[in-house]
Amino acid sequence: MALIAVLTAGKGPVQAANYPERPVRIIVPFPPGGAVDLIARVVAQKLSEGLGSQFYVENLPGAGGDIGTRAAAAATADGYTLEFVAPDFVLSPLVKARAAFDPASSFAPISLVATSQQIVLVNPAVPAKNMRELIALLKANPGKYNLATPGYGTLPDLEGTRLFAITYGLDVVHVPFQGMAPGLTATLAGQTSIVLCPIALAAPHIKDGKLRPLATESGKRSERLPDVPTLTESGIPNHESEFVSGLLASANTPRDVIDLLQRQIARIVSLPEVKERLAAAGFDTVASTPDEFAAWIKAETAKWAPVVSQANIKID
């Protein structure tokens, strides 16, 4: 019994000290080709190189990111299952009648990794050249135009609800997809009219004239799209929003594993080739402490909870 107690007591520290001893799964709760997937694959490659063991991406899309996030929350707390998340993982429990996880208690934050400004876009067939014209068009045509989102309870869903339904009382049809990439594709094809997404994903299509940018959802104009006004400049203040992605593990993962991974993230996002690659895709790299990531989760929850309550959003 004494021997068992000693071995059991030593299991956690030994496991953390030797981490990683086998391949590490990084869950992306969205389909391939989206913003989170792109960031995760860049980071996974560098983690593999830096720690000498394979870090691989597994896409588990569906339910606005809930399927993959539930899997990450339920994983063994040993650091061998991680997850790259977007703001949606904070928002989903706010709108679910029976939330399967708690953003603050079900996970161990590691580090924020990348950000990108959000932007309001329309298919060029939509006869609106700016936000004022879009609002007027939607008022005159209730139920005719639709909004593509990555799913119920995602950031674009709540952004669209706050902007169109709460602020202006507009009837815009919500069309949820299993990720941002399919929603963007649908808007490019004219199957959906409006999409709110990271500039990182939209920039190539804007350049090709396949999507029309109307406004950024940031406090300042984008350096990549300096001619596109902000929502505030368009007469719609207090609607700032930003895409943020970070890496986390399941709750109770050994702190020394978390700290090791955090140091690796800080190293990776400082690499010139990583900064350049993500910048070319429209992302700004960041690195945070686990506590700073936890504070961001708390702030996002406080920001969006009133929107969910006011709009009476609840999904079974």
Walk me through the domains of the chain, giving residue ranges and CATH numbers: 2-115+243-311 (3.40.190.150), 117-216 (3.40.190.10)
pLDDT digits 0-9 by tens, 223-270: 888 999 999 999 999 898 888 999 999 999 999 999 999 999 999 999
State the amino acid at position 261 in one-letter form: L
| Whether residue 93 has pLDDT greater than 50 | yes
**Percentage, residues of the chain above pLDDT 70:** 95
Alpha helices, DSSP H only, in 62-213?
A: 66-74, 88-95, 131-140, 155-160, 180-188, 199-207
Q: Grade residue 15 by pLDDT with cuts at 50, 70 and 90.
A: low
Mean pLDDT score across all residues of the chain: 90
Query: Who's near 43: CB < 8 A, 6+ residues apart?
Result: 26, 55, 84, 113, 247, 265, 268, 274
| Whether residue 154 has pLDDT greater than 80 | yes
C-alpha radius of gyration, the chain, whole number: 20
DSSP string, 195-206: EEEEHHHHHHHH
Q: Coil, strand, or helix at residue 58? A: strand
Report the Cα–Cα distance between both ends of the chain, in Å, rounded: 48
224: Cα within 13 Å, side-chain hemisphere = 23
Q: Are 214 and 164 in contact (CB under 8 A)?
A: no
Report the Cα 300 to chain-centroid distance in Å: 12
| Whether residue 115 has pLDDT greater than 80 | yes
Mean predicted confidence (pLDDT) in 210-218: 94
Count of residues in the chain: 316
Mean predicted confidence (pLDDT) in 203-226: 90
